[in-house]
Structure 1
Amino acid sequence: MLEAASSALANFADPAMLLYLGAGVVVGLIIGVIPGLGGTGAVAVLLPFVFVLEPNQAIAMIIGAVAVVHTSDVITSVVLGIPGSASAAVFLLDGNKMAKKGHGGRALSASFLASTIGGLIGIVALTLVIPVARPVVTAMGSPEILMLIVSGIFLTVLLSKGNMVKGLLIAAFGLALGMVGVSPVSAEYRYTFGSDYLTEGFALVAVALGIFGVAEIIQLVARRATVADTEMSFGHGWARGARDVLRYSGDVLRGSAVGVGSGLLPGVGATAGAWLAYGQAQAVGGRKKGAKFGEGDPRGVIAPSAASNAIESGALIPTLLFGVPGAAPFALLLGVLLIFGIQPGPNLIEQELDLVYFIVWSFAFAAIIGAVLALFLARPLARLSFVRFPILAAALIPILFMSGFQEPLNLNVFYVMLTLGVIGWVCKIADIPRAPFLIAFVLAIPLERYYFITVEAFEPGEWMTRPFVLVVALILAGATVYSIYKHRKTSSPDDPGSQEGGDSESSESSAPLFVHVAVSVAALIFFSVGLLLAFNFSATGRLFPLVVGIAGLLLGGLSLFKDLRAVRVAGSFGRLSGPFTDQLKFVGISLLWILGFIGLVFLFGMYVGTAVFSLVFLLTVARMKIIASVIYTASIVGTLYALVTFAELVAPVGWLL
């Protein structure tokens, strides 16, 4: 083990490796400040580079981004009162109050240092777990791995944010999309409809960018407002914040422990972990003399900061040891490993232990580098929130779509990204968690493979009664019962947008009832068609599609039943009025702009299409002056050209140019 750890550390003697790690850290810090994108967005933006880098270089860059997102998303929460992510909302309670009193610097320095320590503690936990878990992991057979994958998807829904039934439904949808292309068990094409583009299946980068990145953009791109509308004040007390971390070291350790525990459970995520850490800090210190929780107590910043980064490092444990992503960003990391032919789980621990320790070292170095950079970059990063979103979107739209183009090298991927963006937006307003979709999509192929091996090698009564399988099944049953019990105690069962699996993913859940009904009906149609098409496949190839199709139909029926019951209680399907109508208007305009961009790229290629789109968009929507628009457009096109020239990305070619 020591030999593997030292061998992994030796990789960082190469300055280029530190350069790739640092690039990931910088991207993670920047993306973390922009509300809505978060760790998944940071990883998705970097994924195209995976195809032109060596495995260790790509992994270092991805880990660098994941390790620091929750370091920088604190900045806007503390300084501006605008959460950089859902998990950063906890810092509004004390961090923002400290900033209003002139102690913003104190809150930020305490947060940066605590998050670094939390991340390192999580890495220590992973290091200690490896030798203990090694014999357990290597002793697992296909039934045990199958149950672990099922539990990962299921727990992601139960412990994730939003409507539980529709969360399971969107997970089944992710599995269905993951089956498009060549079957891993029968070597036949499924659900391709004769399209050459679909023979390779849906690209991971495009799916991730669509369901998360494009979904955020279509909601905000037509709005001319800035993210922040308050005065920025950092205040003072940077050194005092570091002393607070030493003074409240117990809160750092407890917050880190909560974070690691939350990271171990797939789907809990940084939001739940941060609030749990805040709750335990308040429970322990709330009655002590001088406690000011909710009014500017530094412990209210320190504990959740330590937990947020510990969650990310803790989530590496199920991802690497069992091949079950602990959170959505790690589903993308798992996808990167699979791209390089690296299968997490028993084989990784037995044959590539040095790679595990390389990831451990990458996370440790990234946490330290991220904290140092955050201290120096806090002011310029916070200023991003004062930039009107259309100005950011003029650059984000071309970069996101060019990123999604890299894996399939087919312009049809643009339509896939836009469609998934619309689905992601519907999920946001209908309170459907999106993390289960992405995790299920990534796990679809290994789930089908282990399901096929299990049912072929064992009788149902044999593999279902294995001790580990029974234990996992009991855990899932207990978690389901508890989730239903908690839901019935805290909310009305007739509300389709009620929080059946935790806190809602978005505070913008304002969809009328007919939207919920439409989602359920669309799901029933989708899975019915998929089920009928499955009978055209071979006996082996249809096995898993039939299971997913039947599960989707059952979940769709249950979802529709709940929605119609809610309609009966409400007395109507809801109306197109108020804020929802305004939201539809903005989204419609955004979709037209993005379609215009896609049309221009199809006709004239990436460079000319981006130049025309960005210039017209900046003049019309962002209302920038013509000289500034021309300069900014030239910068965007120049960036794309630099990515093609130096990073070896591929720019789409149009029909005319």
Structure 2
Amino acid sequence: MLEAATAALSSFADPAMLLYLVVGVVVGLVIGVIPGLGGTGAVAVLMPFVFVLEPNQAIAMIIGAVAVVHTSDVITSVVLGIPGSASAAVFLLDGHTMAKEGEGGRALSASFIASTIGGIIGIIGLTLVVPVAQPVVTAFGSPEIFMLIVLGIFLTAMLSKGNVVKGLVVAAFGMLLGIVGMSPISAEYRYTFGSEYLTEGIGLVAAALGIFGVAEIIQLVAKRSSVADRNVSLGKGWGRGARDVVKYKGDVLRGSGVGVGVGILPGVGATAGAWLAYGQAQAIGSRRKGARFGQGDPRGVIAPSAASNSIESGGLIPTLLFGVPGAAPFALLLGVLLMFGIQPGPDLIEQDLDLVYFIVWSFAIASLIGAVLAFFMARPLARLSFVSFPVLAAALIPLLFMSGFQEPLNLGVFYTMLLLGIIGWLCKVCDIPRAPFLIAYVLAIPLERYYYITVSAFEPTEWMTRPFVVIVALLLVVTVCVVAYRNIKAKKSSSDEDEDEDPAATTNEDGIHVPPFVGVAVTVGALLFFVAAFILAADFTPNAQLFPYAASILGLGLGAIALVNDIRQMRREGGPGRIEGAFKAQLRVVGISILWLLAFVWLVFLVGMYVGTAVFALAFLLVVARMKPYLAVIYVAAIVGALYVLEEFAELMAPVGWLM
């Protein structure tokens, strides 16, 4: 073990390796501060470079982004009161209060240092777990791994914020999209419809960027405003924040411990972990004199900061040891490993232990570098929130679509990304968690492979009664019961409120009321998709039918439950509702956004990436961003130049149009 750890550390004697790690860190810090994109967006943007790098270089870059994304998303929460991600919302309580009192620097300093310590503690936990877990992991057979994958997908859906049943429906949707292309069980293509593009499946980069990145752009691109509208004031107290971390070291350690524990459990996620850490800090700290939780107490920043980063490092444990990612960024990391033929689990521990420790060192070094850079980049990163979003989108749109193009090298991927972006936006509107989709998509092929091996090698009574399988099944049952009880209790509390209150007060995560018929329409669309998938599977061979049938039936059953819930909700609200108010305004914005994206896609199809980007960006900046013509021309030249640099020096491929 020591030899493997030393060999992994020696890899960073190569300056190029450190350079790739730093690139990942910088991208993670920059993307992490943009609300909505977060860690998944940062990793997805870097995914195209995987195809032109050596395995260790690509892994170092991806780990660099994952390690620091929760370091930078604190900035907008503290300074502006706008969460950079869902997990960063906890910093509104004390961090933003401190900033309003002129101590934003103190809050950020404490957060950066605590998050670095939390990440390192999480890595230490992973290092200690590897030798202990090695005999357990190597004893796992296909039934155990199959059940772990099922557990990861179900827990992600059931414990994510939003509609639990529809979270499971979107997971089934992700499973079916994940098996498009060549079957791992039989030498035949599935769901390709004769398309050469689909024979290799829907690219992981395209799926991630579509469901997350494009979905955010669709919602924001037509708004002529910035994320924030107040002056940046980081305030004072940078040194005092460092002293706070030393003073409240117990909160750092407890927050880190909570983070590691949450990270190990697939599906719980950074948001729950951050609030759990805040809760335990408040429970312990409130008994002490001078506690000001909710009014600017530094412990309200320190504990969740330590937890947020230790969750990411703790999340490496199930990802590497069992091949079950606990969150969307780790699903992408798992996808990178699988691209290089690296299968997490028993084989990785037995044969590639040095790679495990390479990832460990990458995370630890990235955490340290990220903390140092965050101090210098805090002010300029915060200022990103004051840039009009259309100005950012003019550069983001070509970058996202060019990134998605790299895996299939087929322009058909542009339509896939746009369609998934629309689906991702519908998920946001209907309060459906999107992480289950991506995790199910990545795990679809491993899940099918282990499912086939399990049902082929074991009798049902044999594999279902294995001790670990029974434990996982019981854990699933307990989780379902807890979630069901929580939902029933929440509904009962809601029904006990004033009966005269407007029933249309139910809103989505953006605070916008969505008419009930929209949820019904989305569910019906999902049911039709599963029916079509089931019918089309009839043309496959018996072995290739097994998993599509199982996923389709699962989706139909869950979709039926979701439809019943939607109809009940519609009755409670007195009918299907009407498109009006804020939702009508949002639809107008989304419609304009989709038309602009379609215009970009068609331009690239017609005249290629460079000319298409230039024409699109210039028109977009003049019409939507309302930028002055000479500034627009300069900015467009910079965007096209950046794409050229990516093609020449990063070896990315630019799409060629029909005419040029």
TM above 0.5, yes or no, is yes
The answer as to whether partners of 2:430 and 2:508 remain within 8 angstroms in 1 is no
Q: 1:553 aligns with which of 552, 556, 562?
A: 556
Per-residue deviation at 1:511? Answer: 2.1
Q: 2:513 aligns with which of 493, 498, 510?
A: 510
1: CA distance, partners of 2:253 / 2:513: 39
1:15-164 paired onto structure 2 within 5 Å: 15-164=15-164
The answer as to whether partners of 1:428 and 1:508 remain within 8 angstroms in 2 is no
**Given the alignment of the two structures, is residue 630 of structure 1 paired with residue 633 of structure 2, yes or no?**
yes
2: CA distance, partners of 1:619 / 1:507: 28
Q: Give 2:531's aligned residue.
A: 528
Q: Give 1:379's aligned residue.
A: 379
The answer as to whether partners of 2:112 and 2:374 remain within 8 angstroms in 1 is yes
The answer as to whether partners of 2:105 and 2:235 remain within 8 angstroms in 1 is yes
SS in 2 for 1:27: helix
2: CA distance, partners of 1:238 / 1:37: 28
SS in 1 for 2:543: coil
Q: Give 1:268's aligned residue.
A: 268
Q: Give 2:573's aligned residue.
A: 570
The answer as to whether partners of 1:161 and 1:505 remain within 8 angstroms in 2 is no
Q: Deviations over 1:274-318 (max 9, x none)?
A: 111111100000121010011100000000000000000000000
Structure 1 window deviating more from structure 2 (462-471 vs 556-565): it is 556-565
Taking structure 1 as the reference length, the TM-score comes to 0.98
SS in 2 for 1:507: coil
The answer as to whether partners of 1:487 and 1:493 remain within 8 angstroms in 2 is no
2: CA distance, partners of 1:582 / 1:505: 15
Q: Give 2:504's aligned residue.
A: none
SS in 1 for 2:568: helix
2: CA distance, partners of 1:569 / 1:510: 14
Q: 1:541 aligns with which of 541, 544, 549?
A: 544
SS in 2 for 1:206: helix
- Paired AA for residue 231 in structure 2: E
Q: Give 1:181's aligned residue.
A: 181
Per-residue deviation at 1:439? Answer: 0.1
Q: 1:91 to 1:426 in 2, by over 3 A?
A: same
2: CA distance, partners of 1:518 / 1:505: 16
Which stretches of structure 1, 4 residues or more, deviate above 4 A after TM superposition? 492-495
Per-residue deviation at 1:507? Answer: 3.5
SS in 2 for 1:535: helix
2: CA distance, partners of 1:491 / 1:622: 43
2: CA distance, partners of 1:528 / 1:65: 39
- Paired AA for residue 144 in structure 2: E
Unaligned ranges ≥5, structure 2: 496-506
Per-residue deviation at 1:265? Answer: 1.1
Per-residue deviation at 1:531? Answer: 0.5
CA-based RMSD: 1.3
2: CA distance, partners of 1:564 / 1:505: 17
1:296-315 paired onto structure 2 within 5 Å: 296-315=296-315
Q: Give 1:410's aligned residue.
A: 410
Q: Give 1:367's aligned residue.
A: 367
Structure 1 window deviating more from structure 2 (560-569 vs 480-489): it is 560-569
Percent identity between the two aligned chains = 74
1:134-533 paired onto structure 2 within 5 Å: 134-491=134-491, 506-508=509-511, 510-533=513-536
The answer as to whether partners of 1:321 and 1:349 remain within 8 angstroms in 2 is yes
Q: Give 1:610's aligned residue.
A: 613
Per-residue deviation at 1:565? Answer: 1.6
Q: Deviations over 1:594-623 (max 9, x none)?
A: 000001100000000000000010011000
**Given the alignment of the two structures, is residue 655 of structure 1 paired with residue 655 of structure 2, yes or no?**
no
The answer as to whether partners of 2:158 and 2:165 remain within 8 angstroms in 1 is no
Q: Give 1:498's aligned residue.
A: none
1: CA distance, partners of 2:232 / 2:574: 47
Per-residue deviation at 1:493? Answer: 10
1: CA distance, partners of 2:51 / 2:421: 24
SS in 2 for 1:25: helix
Per-residue deviation at 1:235? Answer: 1.1
2: CA distance, partners of 1:373 / 1:505: 35
1: CA distance, partners of 2:128 / 2:448: 32
SS in 1 for 2:542: coil
Q: Deviations over 1:533-568 (max 9, x none)?
A: 111110111011111111111111111111112222
Unaligned ranges ≥5, structure 1: 496-503
1: CA distance, partners of 2:112 / 2:513: 35
Taking structure 2 as the reference length, the TM-score comes to 0.97
SS in 2 for 1:491: helix
2: CA distance, partners of 1:476 / 1:386: 44
- Paired AA for residue 266 in structure 1: P
- Paired AA for residue 635 in structure 2: Y
- Paired AA for residue 365 in structure 1: I
